[in-house]
Amino acid sequence: MQKEDLVECHKRITPFVHNTPIHTSRLLDRIVDASLFFKCENFQRMGAYKMRGATNAILQLTNEQRKKGVVTHSSGNFAQALSLAAKSLGVKAYIVMPSSAPQVKKDAVKEYSGTIIECEPTLEARKAMADRIQTETGATFIHPSNDLNVIAGQGTACMELLQEHPDLDIVVVPVGGGGLIAGTALAAHYFGENCKVIGGEPFEVDDAYRSLLSGKIESNESTNTIADGLKTQLGDKNFPLIQKYVDRIIRVNEEEIIEAMRLLWERMKIIIEPSSAVAFAAVLREKDIFKNKKVGIIISGGNVDLKNLPF
Amino acid sequence: MQKEDLVECHKRITPFVHNTPIHTSRLLDRIVDASLFFKCENFQRMGAYKMRGATNAILQLTNEQRKKGVVTHSSGNFAQALSLAAKSLGVKAYIVMPSSAPQVKKDAVKEYSGTIIECEPTLEARKAMADRIQTETGATFIHPSNDLNVIAGQGTACMELLQEHPDLDIVVVPVGGGGLIAGTALAAHYFGENCKVIGGEPFEVDDAYRSLLSGKIESNESTNTIADGLKTQLGDKNFPLIQKYVDRIIRVNEEEIIEAMRLLWERMKIIIEPSSAVAFAAVLREKDIFKNKKVGIIISGGNVDLKNLPF
């Protein structure tokens, strides 16, 4: 992907997404001994950066394709993002979700007018059902993270961060399926001035950390983390970008994630989901790397169940 | 107080406080059928608008007065605000607090280097102790809400709101001790274009509502509300301003406060305290008044105990 592709992507999605605010905190700066710039994608439409990639992917379809709709399998933020992006653009969205998904997540998709198709709670069943929807309806499949249009869209958050603060030394993001970190890495490469990209990942689902070590895409045997947006693994589209442009991945434990989340809630007065706290937890864990640096941190989303908080 | 006094006040405090962001939400606009502009004082330094008034009050002291310090009695946000404002300006702050105040509030004052003096948990004991501190130290007493310098400072939040949106039809604020609503009313009068000011107040502590009816300052026999910042009563400095410039006060019940708070947390992803939710609860209760209007809402603060949420 070229610099021009990202510039075009940003122009394309700008009418449909928010240029989210960048918050700072003297107290958190003091704790880390660095200048921190939090790009608040929790204030993005539907509450997460995924709105960017979903919007770009739909806008890249032909009129013929748009008429037939889009389909994805996700039980998280991408399901809501694709539903809302599709609704905004007058396109039908089919969302394949495991029957075991929490009612609150099903309700969120319905609120944005997504059509839910339930399946058995296995990865195979999800893929099979998504294939069937494609065959039956002609809808275009859009992967939540392993799709170059999605990756470019996610990269626009970092583009906007660098537009306001071009001299960032490092940008830190959470790592799940790899779409955000791959897009961020491209944006930092093309628009930063020697800006490094570092990922934060829970020890409990450290597939990306292990993938960078082994040189092939690794998966997680168990996914026992509070950061429920980060349980997925990398794909063949984003992994090469991550290998090429990401400096390193810092792993954090569950207590560190909860403590970082609590600090951001208490001190910045913003509601962020546990997956978002992983990037800041990485900064807190390895303060020496960030000391005296200008550091961008992408707060990926704010969709939490208020009845089920870890504090 | 003249327009010029507010302009000078804003200039005076600007180096020491944040010009807080104004957030909007399409979804909340749809719910109310109005255009809402939330002035986010929960992102103010120490987490509440009270930082403005405390800073202005200290900046108005002579050098001689500053050397002797300031004193107030408060167990809430004003205690923290005066402590932090004093610290920023190199002034000593004595905070009289009832011995029964929660440890978390004492800790917050200590964090901002305020000197806590405990007293019996009665209003008389608080006043007596504050008098004693003044006599012993020569410190200047600064009232949390019934002080014209404090009132002017609190009004600067509305000034900033009107600088960005000069054509607001209405500004809504919570009513506690009367400092915020009096300052807001002055700012709307001098800087708005026929901008009304409406207060939100819990039924459980509706002293301001009753004061406007009776024409004299009323007090509350009980203070059984979740909006713990609104339990205090009006004073002789702010009441005349409220009588002159405030359009009306809308009372809300406890369920409405909690529901408004939940909506703002879930939809806007911002952490606000229950007292802040009272203004939005008033808008939700009396939607007809606000229909098709441009409405400013001052989110007064975000200091909550995350271990003790009403959801």
Which pLDDT belongs to residue A123?
82
Domains and CATH numbers, chain B: 3-46+147-308 (3.40.50.1100), 51-141 (3.40.50.1100)
Task: Locate B27 and state its tokens.
Answer: 């979804």
Cα–Cα distance for residue pair A151/A198, rounded to 1 Å: 16
pLDDT by residue (tens digit) across B22-38? 999 999 999 999 999 99
Q: Indicate yes or no: CB of A43 within 8 angstroms of CB of B269.
A: yes
Chain-wide mean pLDDT for chain A? 96
Q: Indicate yes or no: CB of A271 within 8 angstroms of CB of B265.
A: yes
- Work out whether the CA dihedral A150, A165, B46, A260 comes out positive or negative: positive
Query: In what helix (H) or strand (E) does residue A62 lie, and over which residues does it extend?
Result: none
Residue spans of beta strands (DSSP E) within chain B = 22-23, 35-40, 70-73, 93-98, 115-119, 140-141, 170-174, 196-202, 248-252, 294-299
Q: Point out the least confidently predicted range of A104-108, B144-148, B234-238.
A: A104-108
Strands A248-252 and A196-202: parallel
What share of chain A has pLDDT > 90, as a percent? Answer: 94
Q: What is the mean pLDDT of residues B175-193?
A: 98
Is B150 or A105 the better-scoring residue by pLDDT?
Answer: B150
Which pLDDT belongs to residue B105?
85
- Work out whether the CA dihedral B185, B77, B161, B89 comes out positive or negative: positive
Locate the chain B residue with the closest alpha carbon to A303. B266
pLDDT by residue (tens digit) across A117-144? 999 988 899 999 999 999 999 999 999 9
Chain-wide mean pLDDT for chain B? 96
Q: Which residue is associated with the tokens 């002055």? A: B186
Task: Tell me the ipTM for this assembly.
Answer: 0.93
Nearest to A251 by CA among A229, A230, A273: A230
pLDDT by residue (tens digit) across B88-132? 999 999 999 988 888 888 999 999 999 999 999 888 999 999 999
Strands A294-299 and A35-40: parallel
The per-residue b/e assignment along A175-203, b for 16 or more CB within 10 angstroms, e otherwise, is bbbbbbbbbbbbbbbbbbeebbbbbbbbe
Q: What is the mean pLDDT of residues B83-91?
A: 97
pLDDT by residue (tens digit) across B137-156? 999 999 999 999 999 999 99
Cα–Cα distance for residue pair B260/B243, rounded to 1 Å: 27
- By a Cβ cutoff of 8 Å, what residues of chain A touch chain B? 21, 23, 42-43, 47, 262, 265-266, 268-272, 302, 306-307, 309, 311
Which pLDDT belongs to residue B280?
98
Locate the chain B residue with the closest alpha carbon to A263. B306
Residue spans of beta strands (DSSP E) within A77-193 = 93-98, 115-119, 140-141, 170-174
- Best of A269, A273, A300, A303 to disrupt the B interface (most B CBs within 10 Å) is A269
Task: Locate B49 and state its tokens.
Answer: 């608008």
Residue A233 backbone dihedrals phi, psi, to 5 degrees: -110, 170
Which pLDDT belongs to residue B76?
87
Q: What is the mean pLDDT of residues B46-52?
A: 97
Q: Indicate yes or no: CB of B311 within 8 angstroms of CB of A311.
A: no
Which pLDDT belongs to residue B294?
98
Locate the chain B residue with the closest alpha carbon to A22. B21
Nearest to B16 by CA among B38, B44, B47, B36: B44
Task: Locate A308 and state its tokens.
Answer: 């089920």
What share of chain B has pLDDT > 90, as a percent? Answer: 94
- Under the banding of pLDDT at 50, 70 and 90, the label for residue A104 is confident
Q: Indicate yes or no: CB of B23 within 8 angstroms of CB of A43.
A: yes
Q: Which residues on B lie below 8 Å from A21 (Cβ)?
A: 21
Which pLDDT belongs to residue B292?
98
pLDDT by residue (tens digit) across A32-82? 999 999 999 999 999 999 999 999 999 999 999 999 999 999 878 999 999
- Under the banding of pLDDT at 50, 70 and 90, the label for residue A100 is confident
Give strand pairing partners of A73.
A96
Q: Which residues on A lie below 8 Å from B302 (Cβ)?
A: 269
In the predicted model, is pLDDT for residue A86 greater than 90?
yes
Q: Is A234 helix (H, G, I), strand (E, B) or coil?
A: coil
Q: Which residues on A lie below 8 Å from B299 (Cβ)?
A: none
Smallest CA–CA distance, residue B44 to chain A, in Å, is 10
Q: What is the mean pLDDT of residues B195-201?
A: 98
In the predicted model, is pLDDT for residue A30 greater than 90?
yes
Give strand pairing partners of A163.
none
Is A207 or B108 the better-scoring residue by pLDDT?
Answer: A207
- Under the banding of pLDDT at 50, 70 and 90, the label for residue B309 is very high
CA–CA distances in Å: residue B172 to residues B38, B63, B259, B280, B296: 10, 37, 17, 8, 6
Q: What is the mean pLDDT of residues B56-80?
A: 96
